[in-house]
Amino acid sequence: MIPLYVAQFGIVLAVFVALLLAAAVMVYSERKVAGLIQQRYGPYLVGPKGILQPFADVFKLIFKESLRPAAADTILFYAAPILSATAAFAAFAVVPFGAETTLFGLLKEPIRLQVADVNVAVLVVFAITSISIYGIVLAGWSSNSKYSLLGALRSASQMISYELSYGVSLASVLVVAGSLSLTEIVDAQQGTWLGFVPRWFVFLQPLGFVIFMIAGVAETNRSPFDFPEAEQELVAGYHTEYSSTPFMMFFLAEYINMVTTAAVATDLFLGGWHGPFLPESLGWIWFLIKTGAILFFYIWMRWTLPRLRYDQLMQFGWKVMLPLAALNLILTAAGVIYLGN
Amino acid sequence: MLLFLLFAAVAVGASLMVVLGRNPMHSVLLLIVSFAALAAIYVGLDAPFAAVVQIIIYAGAIMVLFLFVVMLLNAHTEDEGAAGPTPAGKPLVAGVAVAAALVLELAWALARTRGTSGRTGGGGADASVLQSVRELGGVLYRDYSLAFEVTSILILVAMVGAVVLARRES
């Protein structure tokens, strides 16, 4: 029998390592899928089928010289990537990824597959997302470079604009579930309608799901909303002046943020770890499959759609996304009141 | 208790550095640190909702706007003139008067709450009510609905006013 605190420490460690690995897998699949879409091979030299390419990239980056512009604000220049990476890891702490388990009978009491079960988990994710803006803004400002500053300004205004529709679409799920805890929201999606349609909130909130996904792409600064790092205009945006390990931390943060957004979308709309064929204790496999499917969708979108214009992005965010999200929330609230749950 | 002292020290220290610092950018960031420490104290008081809302609204939304203004004005350091020795004359008198008023107010507030069995901020809503978001919403929309709506209209008026003022210049 393993004591409870050892198991909990194990979960924390497992989540940390899994997120690092997930970032590596994402980098590899991003390049491989991009290759397939553009009729190239993608990475194929390092390891079988190029599978060790992300690790080669990491070692290459670590051994590079870390440059800093002479006029940069030293403290903030190095604090910015740390803030970005920390916020990315911290957001996943409240995301549940499996049902209660005894780890194949190793434990006396079952524990939740989640680092911290907070009863306002949804809001914690939202709060940490809003904090992660600072990493980007500080990077852009402290670099003392015009490209970085422009990238940071674009990023901040984009994230503020889309955070609103992100939050409002989230609120309509909270209204349906009647809870702020991600665990309770997932458990509310257990079972099926008519015996075969899973009771996932995506079927109750189709508009909310679409808005959440689009806002999620904008929040993670991915194409077609990748203005902060639009390479044709801004070199690389907020991380133009970064190299070596600090650059790697921004890179890591971006991919982990994608994983977190996909995991939160899975918990909120796709029923989390609930699914047919597998016992409850192996539900985390369903969770991985669903999260992976959303991540594949992100990659697919990035290599298929062209970038919008900046004014189009702002118009779309304020004049389409936000009114639709608000309408969805009002209709949902009315539906919950008049039809019951 | 130890955690409270730690976060209280961080909050007070960061706030002091906001006022005493010479770099406006650092001041803005230290203010965020101070807000984060306050949020941690809220968690210690069993009010996780208040803590998270503190981070989302103050640290996340309002301070980003502050940061924008400071960044776009490109105010690297305060003016050299203001960085001189302590101001003398009328500003000094006004500053001392305001400080004295604040200290008196704080002392009065502390002396008043001491009597009420250690529970601070004893208004209508006590800590157990604030724990539940549902009940917080109920209190806000039922008991204080008039104040809530009036505040909303006030903010809306301020927003419209800001837009009108910004348009007139161009």
pLDDT in the model for residue A318: 86
Give the DSSP H/E element, type plus range, for residue A170.
Answer: helix A146-177
B48/A120 Cβ within 8 A: yes
pLDDT in the model for residue B86: 58
pLDDT in the model for residue B120: 45
The residue among B25, B29, B49, B52 with the most chain A CBs within 10 A of its CB, best to mutate, is B52
Q: How far is the alpha carbon of A327 from chain B, nearest alpha carbon, in Å?
A: 19
Backbone angles phi, psi at A167, to 5 degrees: -65, -40
Question: d(Cα B56, Cα A209) in Å, to the nearest integer?
Answer: 22
Res. B67: pLDDT tops 90: no
Q: Of A330-334, B87-91, B138-142, B147-151, which gets the smallest average pLDDT?
A: B87-91
Pick the CATH number of B1-78 from 1.20.1510.10, 3.20.20.370, 1.20.120.1200, 3.30.2180.10: 1.20.120.1200
B48/A119 Cβ within 8 A: yes
DSSP A105: T
Q: Which residue of A has its CA nearest to B51?
A: A124
Question: d(Cα B56, Cα B49) in Å, to the nearest integer?
Answer: 11
Distance from first CA to last CA of chain B, Å, rounded?
55
User: Is B56's Cβ below 8 Å from some Cβ in A?
Assistant: yes
pLDDT in the model for residue B8: 86
A160/B64 Cβ within 8 A: yes
Backbone angles phi, psi at B76, to 5 degrees: -70, -45
- Percent of chain B exceeding pLDDT 70 equals 78
pLDDT in the model for residue B129: 43
pTM above threshold 0.80: no
Asked if residues A4 and A14 have their Cβ atoms less than 8 Å apart, the reply is no
* pLDDT tier, B154 (very low <50, low <70, confident <90, very high otherwise): very high
* pLDDT tier, B128 (very low <50, low <70, confident <90, very high otherwise): very low
A76/B25 Cβ within 8 A: yes
Question: d(Cα A139, Cα A155) in Å, to the nearest integer?
Answer: 11
Which residues from A are below 8 Å from B when comparing CB atoms? Answer: 73, 76, 118-120, 123-124, 126-127, 130-131, 133-134, 137-138, 141, 149, 152-153, 156, 160, 163, 180
pLDDT in the model for residue B122: 42
A127/B49 Cβ within 8 A: no
Res. B133: pLDDT tops 90: no
* Mean pLDDT for the stretch of residues B39-50: 81
Surface of B (19-48) touching A: CB under 8 A: 25-26, 29, 32, 48
Instruction: Tell me which residue in B52, B64, B68 faces A127 most closely, judged by beta carbons.
Output: B52
Instruction: Tell me which residue in B26, B29, B60 faces A127 most closely, judged by beta carbons.
Output: B60
pLDDT in the model for residue B131: 55
* pLDDT tier, B118 (very low <50, low <70, confident <90, very high otherwise): very low
A118/B133 Cβ within 8 A: no
Residue with tokens 């809503």: B125
Q: How far is the alpha carbon of A270 from chain B, nearest alpha carbon, in Å?
A: 25
Question: d(Cα A60, Cα A64) in Å, to the nearest integer?
Answer: 7
Asked if residues A42 and A31 have their Cβ atoms less than 8 Å apart, the reply is yes
- A193 forms beta bridges with A197
* pLDDT tier, B101 (very low <50, low <70, confident <90, very high otherwise): very high
For residue A73, list chain B residues with Cβ-Cβ distance below 8 A. 25
Res. B85: pLDDT tops 60: no
Q: How far is the alpha carbon of B3 from chain A, nearest alpha carbon, in Å?
A: 19
Res. B44: pLDDT tops 90: no
For residue A138, list chain B residues with Cβ-Cβ distance below 8 A. 29
Q: Tell me how far apart the 2 most distant CA atoms of chain B are, in Å.
A: 58
SS3 A265: helix
SS3 B1: coil
For residue B49, list chain A residues with Cβ-Cβ distance below 8 A. 120, 123, 180
B29/A133 Cβ within 8 A: no
Question: d(Cα B128, Cα B106) in Å, to the nearest integer?
Answer: 25
Torsion angle of C-alpha atoms A257, A258, A263, A264, degrees rounded to 10: 70
Chunked into runs of 10 residues, chain A (341 residues) has average pLDDT values of 73 85 87 86 81 85 81 80 87 79 64 72 83 83 80 81 84 81 78 71 81 84 71 72 83 87 86 73 79 88 81 84 88 82 53
DSSP B45: T
* pLDDT tier, B150 (very low <50, low <70, confident <90, very high otherwise): very high
Domain boundaries, chain B: 1-78, 126-170
The residue among A74, A123, A162 with the most chain B CBs within 10 A of its CB, best to mutate, is A123
Using CA atoms, how far residue B120 sits from A276, B5, B123, B126, B146, in Å, is: 51, 16, 9, 9, 25
Q: Please give the single-letter amino acid code of residue A223.
A: S
Q: Please give the single-letter amino acid code of residue A138.
A: L
pLDDT in the model for residue A149: 81
Residue with tokens 């079988």: A48
For residue A152, list chain B residues with Cβ-Cβ distance below 8 A. 71
Question: d(Cα A158, Cα A156) in Å, to the nearest integer?
Answer: 5
Question: d(Cα B134, Cα B129) in Å, to the nearest integer?
Answer: 9
Using CA atoms, how far residue A309 sits from A44, A80, A162, A313, A314, in Å, is: 34, 27, 16, 6, 9
Q: Of A45-59, B83-97, B98-112, B136-150, which gets the smallest average pLDDT?
A: B83-97
Interior/surface letters A212-229, b for 16+ CB within 10 angstroms, e for the rest: bbbbbbbbbbbbbbbbbb
Question: d(Cα B36, Cα A321) in Å, to the nearest integer?
Answer: 30
- A197 forms beta bridges with A193
pLDDT in the model for residue B157: 92
Asked if residues A155 and A221 have their Cβ atoms less than 8 Å apart, the reply is yes
Using CA atoms, how far residue A118 sits from A113, A124, A287, in Å, is: 13, 8, 20
Using CA atoms, how far residue B81 sits from A71, B23, B102, in Å, is: 24, 14, 27
Query: For residue A162, what are the contacts with CB-CB under 8 A and spacing of at least 6?
Result: A214, A215, A218, A219, A225, A317, A321
Average of per-residue pLDDT values in chain B: 77
Q: Which residue of A has its CA nearest to B60?
A: A130
Domain boundaries, chain A: 4-339
Question: d(Cα A107, Cα A89) in Å, to the nearest integer?
Answer: 27
Instruction: Tell me which residue in A119, A127, A137 faces B67 most closely, judged by beta carbons.
Output: A137
Question: d(Cα A194, Cα B157) in Å, to the nearest integer?
Answer: 50
Q: Which residue of A has its CA nearest to B71?
A: A141
pLDDT in the model for residue B121: 44
For residue B60, list chain A residues with Cβ-Cβ distance below 8 A. 127, 130-131, 133, 163
Using CA atoms, how far residue A272 sits from A184, A208, A258, A262, A296, in Å, is: 11, 17, 16, 11, 17
Asked if residues B39 and B59 have their Cβ atoms less than 8 Å apart, the reply is yes
Residue with tokens 């991915």: A222
User: Is B141's Cβ below 8 Å from some Cβ in A?
Assistant: no
